[in-house]
Amino acid sequence: MSGPKKTILSGMRPTGKLHIGHLLGVLNNWVALQDDYNCFFEVADWHALTSEFANTKAMTGNIKEMVTDWLAAGLDPEKSVMFVQSRVLEHAELHLMLSMITPLPWLERCPTYKEQINEIKDKDLSNYGFLGYPVLQAADILMYRATVVPIGQDQLPHLELTREICRRFNNIYGEVFPEPVHLFTKVPKLLGIDGRKMSKSYNNSIYISDSKEEYTKKIKAAFTDPKKMRKNDPGHPVGCPIFMLQNIYSLEKTGEIKKDCESGVLGCVDCKKILLENFEKGIAPIREKREKINARKDYAEEVLREGTKKAEIAAKKNMAEVRETVFGKAYV
């Protein structure tokens, strides 16, 4: 890549250990971007607080588990800045300033907001902070003048709001922030072992940190094509969660597996055996790295402490400019 490196910012709410959907859909992509961009990866604990404000006890442990998975997957503190959002207080300041210029209807019509308010009934989401979730996300991105934001499809409405807020800020005060663009990952959403979307809340996930015994049990019990009752019945690999994993982990063998499943030569038990072997090859190095990281007691915390210091330096510099633009020199 020529010219100065562009800046990337992305983040995750600390929900604890990550599943292989996160690994394949997000982390591998982040890891690949580290060499070509200035990368900031954020632990979005304030975002988690917008819905988990009454359950903060698990937060510290969740952050540690998540960042251990980041490191095991290959995020490198020498290349990327990994930091905790709530430890960089400038995020709160920028969030507040952006909240002044964000019209309420933009937030009220945000599809993710509407959907969650309608669908999530077991949590109280009628708070001010939850409505402002995308404003906080805009502050994360604009704070580092990130121009590229790797996200999943579900986050697109938030990035669009970031762009609108960015334009409005620049219109009112002058060109301060570059407008960011999204970068989608190509990997499709992984299915869980029950055939639904892989998600922690469905209890159907294979975790990066699962031991060989744990994931073997899950894969052996996993849902496959319901029409393939007996070994020799013709199967339908498309939509089968095991075949989805074969596609990723069995690589050049996938074509043969598909053909043999469809023709009834390959039964689900043997198909799972092939997958288990290839999955182990793919996941073992990550699991082993995770174990090594865990053996260095406070390593994840140390990475975050150092990363947060770096993020803070960048945030302070940018906020000084924002303050000056909005209020004039006396405020710097």
Instruction: Starting at the earlier edge strand, list the strands of the sheet with 80-84.
Output: 80-84, 38-43, 7-12, 148-151, 181-184
The least distance separating ligand TRP from the CB of residue 313, rounded to whole angstroms, comes to 19
Tokens of 35: 């060499």
Residue choice 66, 141, 161, 266 for contact with ligand TRP (CB under 6 A)? 141
Identify which of residues 14 and 237 has a Cβ nearer to ligand TRP in the complex.
14
Identify which of residues 9 and 75 has a Cβ nearer to ligand TRP in the complex.
9
Residue choice 50, 51, 68, 155 for contact with ligand TRP (CB under 6 A)? 155
* Rounded Cα gap, residues 229 and 160, in angstroms: 46
Identify which of residues 139 and 222 has a Cβ nearer to ligand TRP in the complex.
139
For the chain, give me the number of helices (H) and strands (E)?
15, 5
Binding mask 79-118 for ligand TRP (x = CB under 6 A): ----------------------------------------
The least distance separating ligand TRP from the CB of residue 232, rounded to whole angstroms, comes to 44
Nearest to 150 by CA among 161, 159, 163, 162: 159
The least distance separating ligand TRP from the CB of residue 173, rounded to whole angstroms, comes to 22
User: For the chain, first and last CA: distance in Å?
Assistant: 36
Residue choice 6, 7, 10, 300 for contact with ligand TRP (CB under 6 A)? 10
The least distance separating ligand TRP from the CB of residue 146, rounded to whole angstroms, comes to 8
**Residues 29-68, interacting with ligand TRP (CB under 6 A):** 42, 44, 47
Contact predicate 25/55, CB 8 Å: no
Identify which of residues 25 and 241 has a Cβ nearer to ligand TRP in the complex.
25
Residue choice 9, 82, 161, 314 for contact with ligand TRP (CB under 6 A)? 9
Cα dihedral value 319, 52, 286, 153, nearest 10: -70
Tokens of 105: 């209807």
Tokens of 14: 């600390």
- How many residues sit close enough to ligand TRP to count as binding (CB under 6 A)? 15
Tokens of 319: 């906020």
> In 10 A of CB 228, how many CB atoms?
21
Query: Of the listed pieces 96-104, 147-155, 197-205, 276-284, which binds ligand TRP according to CB under 6 A?
Result: 147-155
The least distance separating ligand TRP from the CB of residue 158, rounded to whole angstroms, comes to 6
Q: Which residues contact 142 (CB under 8 A, 6 or more apart)?
A: 94, 98, 162, 165, 166, 169, 177, 180
> Does residue 137 bind ligand TRP (CB under 6 A)?
yes
The least distance separating ligand TRP from the CB of residue 228, rounded to whole angstroms, comes to 35
Residue choice 140, 210, 225, 260 for contact with ligand TRP (CB under 6 A)? 140
SS3 call for 120: coil
Residue choice 6, 7, 12, 224 for contact with ligand TRP (CB under 6 A)? 12
* Rounded Cα gap, residues 31 and 160, in angstroms: 25
Helical (H) or strand (E) element with 148: strand 148-151
Nearest to 130 by CA among 41, 57, 53, 16: 53
Please give the residue ranges that form the binding site for ligand TRP (CB under 6 A). 9-13, 42, 44, 47, 137, 140-141, 149, 151, 155, 158
